[in-house]
Chains A and B, each alone.
Chain A
Amino acid sequence: EAGVAQSPRYKIIEKRQSVAFWCNPISGHATLYWYQQILGQGPKLLIQFQNNGVVDDSQLPKDRFSAERLKGVDSTLKIQPAKLEDSAVYLCASDRGLNTEAFFGQGTRLTVV
Chain B
Amino acid sequence: KQEVTQIPAALSVPEGENLVLNCSFTDSAIYNLQWFRQDPGKGLTSLLLIQSSQREQTSGRLNASLDKSSGRSTLYIAASQPGDSATYLCGDSNSGYALNFGKGTSLLVTP
Which residues from chain B sit less than 8 Å from chain A, CB to CB?
4, 31-32, 34, 36, 41-46, 49, 51, 89, 91, 93, 96-104
Contacts and interface: CB of A to CB of B under 8 A. Distances in A.
Contacts of A6: 43
Contacts of B103: 40-42
Contact of B102 (A4, A42, A100, A102): A42
Given A42-B103, A56-B98, A106-B43, 11 more contacts: A4-B43, A40-B103, A42-B4, A42-B101, A42-B102, A48-B97, A95-B97, A99-B96, A101-B49, A104-B44, A104-B46
Interface of A: 4, 6, 31, 33, 40-45, 48, 50, 55-56, 91, 93, 95, 98-107, 109
Contact of B91 (A42, A55, A105, A107): A42
